[in-house]
Amino acid sequence: MQIRVNAEPAAFYRAGQVEHMRTNRRLQSLLQTQRELMGKELWLYIGINTFDYLGSILSYVVIAVPIFSGFYGDLDPAQLSALVSKNAFVSIYLVSCFSQLIDLSATLSDVAGYAHRIGELQETLLSLSRKHRDLSAVSLKQTVQGDTAFLLERVSLSAPSSDKLLIKDLDLRISQGNNLLIVGNTGTGKTSLLRVLGGLWESTWGKDGDFSKTSSH
């Protein structure tokens, strides 16, 4: 989304290849994280659902073991039935509570994920804060040798979809290390000139040279 919104500024800075590499690297990192997450969630939900389905069966198995082993052989059928009902209620209740406890593990994993993201955000903010302080401590005034970055000779240009000239017979020399302020009303061709300098548009006629790629900044 950010690349789509800032496509033109990225083109001005010739950052297409860099953004392409960064996007692919982050996409691969995201896919790897998603694969790891799906693998861990698979075993988590298998355990949760298995215990949910086997919990009720397990409660009756726990009751059946002492009954069929003859531990309650001295009880008559009425007493045995009452004992089975009592123990069944207790065991089913315990299994149900334990099932709910296991179900909370999914919520716990979500909370752990949110906490991890918040921790990463805090670390990033602290890192940016330290970088900002370091940059503030360094003087921003640097002496740069004034080499020619762009040279325009009698350049005229118009929008690709129009024959109306926005700029006519412009002679301009832009040197590295020198600031240039371009002012004018809306629609007078300020951004169009930047597009020509950035190589996004072709000039209608005239000579324009870009020396910024071969000279050091």
**Interatomic CA distance for residues 77 and 54, integer angstroms:** 28
Query: Considering only 10-14, 61-65, 120-124, 212-216, which range has the smallest mean pLDDT?
Result: 212-216
> What is the amino acid identity at position 121?
L
Q: Which helix (H) or strand (E) holds 164?
A: none
Both tokens assigned to 131: 């970088």
Q: What is the pLDDT of residue 37?
A: 82
The predicted pLDDT at position 141 comes to 41
C-alpha to C-alpha distance for 20 and 22, rounded to whole angstroms: 6
* Mean pLDDT calculated for residue range 28-37: 88
Question: Where residue 211 falls among pLDDT bands split at 50, 70, 90?
Answer: very low
Q: Domains of the chain: which residue ranges?
A: 2-137, 148-210
DSSP state for residue 200 in the 8-state scheme: S
The string of pLDDT tens digits covering residues 139-191 is 444 444 446 777 778 877 777 777 777 777 878 787 777 777 877 777 777 77
Looking at residue 186, what is its pLDDT? 79
Amino acid making up residue 29: S
**What is the arithmetic mean of pLDDT over 191-195?**
77
3-class DSSP state of 174: strand
- What is residue 206's predicted lDDT score, i.e. its pLDDT? 61
pTM of the model: 0.41
Q: Which residue has the tokens 């020619």?
A: 148
Check whether 136 has a pLDDT greater than 70.
no
Find out whether 217 and 175 touch, Cβ atoms under 8 Å. Answer: no
Query: How many whole angstroms separate alpha carbon 59 and alpha carbon 91?
Result: 5
Distance, CA of 8 to CA of 11 (rounded, Å): 5
Count of other CB atoms within 10 angstroms of residue 60: 15
Report phi then psi at 169, rounded to 5. 50, 55
In the sheet that holds 165-175, the strands lie side by side as 165-175, 148-158, 205-210
The pairing of strands 165-175 and 205-210 is: unpaired
**What integer is the mean pLDDT of 68-95?**
79
The CATH code for residues 148-210 is 3.40.50.300
Going by C-alpha positions, the residue among 41, 169, 174 that lies closest to residue 105 is 41
What pLDDT does residue 143 have?
40
Flag the least confident range among 4-8, 27-31, 45-49, 66-70.
4-8
pLDDT at 103: 75
pLDDT at 215: 41
**pLDDT at res. 145:** 42
pLDDT for position 161: 75
Mean predicted confidence (pLDDT) in 127-147: 61
